[in-house]
């Protein structure tokens, strides 16, 4: 179990440092900045690379919502859920701490300017409302878990699961960065919010509630569909059709 928790810590650390780091350090770099597309790809690449690096040890969740969704689908034990979430949040905060140290080395750095924190209303990149942010985070996390549950199912080509999941996260960011700066991951949101404080901590509740709701819905839908499929494939009993 200790090895699994360390793997989750490292994976989430990498996700925040790589994903949020691309937004804070490289998105608007003069003349050669990577922009929204580059940030989206960076988040996808962090998950893809760590899925293969430490995924075989812990399952490669790196996200409390993913752990909750897998639990709801009956594919992760409840007694490991809390410890996974703690390791993920700790990794996210550590990743944000390293990013803060790097970013603060530039003259004029102002953490209150955002630090890749998630927000709605005045703190949404596109000034989207609370309702828009809520719907976006629930639906995007639902879709993310659908991809994860399908790509890692024993009937699927699991050796390519990391690629599918990384590309799914890239797509999610391409769609939702303007709305919320994209969370779909409560740990990632917490990492940034801890350093921004103020409004980021005040709005953090949404980026725990919405992703977990979306993940739970996906997990329960997956469980229902799996039961229906099993019933359809089950052979007739006593010669009955």
On average, the pLDDT of the chain sits at 92
Q: What is the pLDDT of residue 232?
A: 62
Question: At what angle are helices 64-72 and 186-196 packed, to 10 degrees?
Answer: 150
Q: What is the pLDDT of residue 8?
A: 97
For residue 58, pLDDT over 60 is answered with: yes
Q: What is the pLDDT of residue 230?
A: 64
CA dihedral 10, 15, 21, 27 (to 10 degrees): 160
pLDDT tier at 241, thresholds 50, 70, 90: very low
Query: Stretch 87-92: mean pLDDT, rounded?
Result: 98
- In this predicted structure, which of 6-10, 150-154, 219-223 has the lowest mean pLDDT? 150-154
pTM surpassing 0.85? yes
Helices marked H in 54-126: 55-58, 64-72, 81-103
Q: What is the pLDDT of residue 31?
A: 83
- In this predicted structure, which of 13-17, 71-75, 91-95, 150-154 has the lowest mean pLDDT? 150-154
| pLDDT tens profile 38-49 | 999 999 999 999
Exposure pattern of 9-44 as b/e (b: 16+ CB <10 Å)? bbbbbbbbbbbbbbbbbebeeeeeebebeebbbbbb
| pLDDT tens profile 176-193 | 999 999 999 999 999 999
- 3-class SS letters over 9-31: HHHHHHHHHHHHHHHHHHCCCCC
For residue 138, pLDDT over 90 is answered with: yes
Query: Stretch 91-95: mean pLDDT, rounded?
Result: 98
Q: What is the pLDDT of residue 28?
A: 87
Query: Stretch 87-115: mean pLDDT, rounded?
Result: 93
For residue 214, pLDDT over 60 is answered with: yes
Q: What is the pLDDT of residue 235?
A: 59
């Amino acid at each position: 179990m200790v090895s699994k928790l360390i793997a989750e810590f490292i994976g989430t650390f990498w996700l925040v440092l790589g994903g949020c780091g691309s937004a804070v350090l490289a998105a608007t770099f003069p003349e050669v900045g990577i922009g929204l597309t580059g940030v989206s790809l960076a988040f996808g690449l962090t998950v893809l690379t760590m899925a293969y690096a430490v995924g075989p040890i812990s399952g490669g969740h790196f996200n409390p919502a993913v752990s909750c969704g897998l639990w709801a689908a009956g594919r992760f034990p409840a007694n490991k859920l809390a410890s996974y979430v703690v390791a993920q949040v700790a990794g996210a905060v550590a990743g944000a701490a390293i990013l803060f140290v790097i970013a603060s080395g530039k003259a004029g750095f102002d953490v209150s300017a955002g630090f890749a924190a998630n927000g709605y209303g005045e703190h949404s990149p596109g000034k989207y409302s609370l309702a828009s942010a809520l719907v976006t985070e629930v639906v995007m996390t639902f879709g993310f878990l659908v991809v994860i549950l399908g790509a890692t199912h024993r009937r699927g080509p699991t050796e390519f699961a990391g690629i599918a999941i990384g590309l799914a996260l890239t797509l999610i960011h391409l769609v939702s960065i303007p709305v919320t700066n994209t969370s779909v991951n409560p740990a990632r949101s917490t990492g940034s919010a801890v350093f921004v404080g103020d409004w980021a901590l005040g709005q953090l509740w949404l980026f725990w509630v919405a992703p977990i709701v979306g993940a739970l819905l996906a997990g329960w839908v997956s469980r229902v569909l799996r039961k229906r499929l099993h019933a359809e494939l089950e052979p007739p009993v006593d010669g009955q059709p």
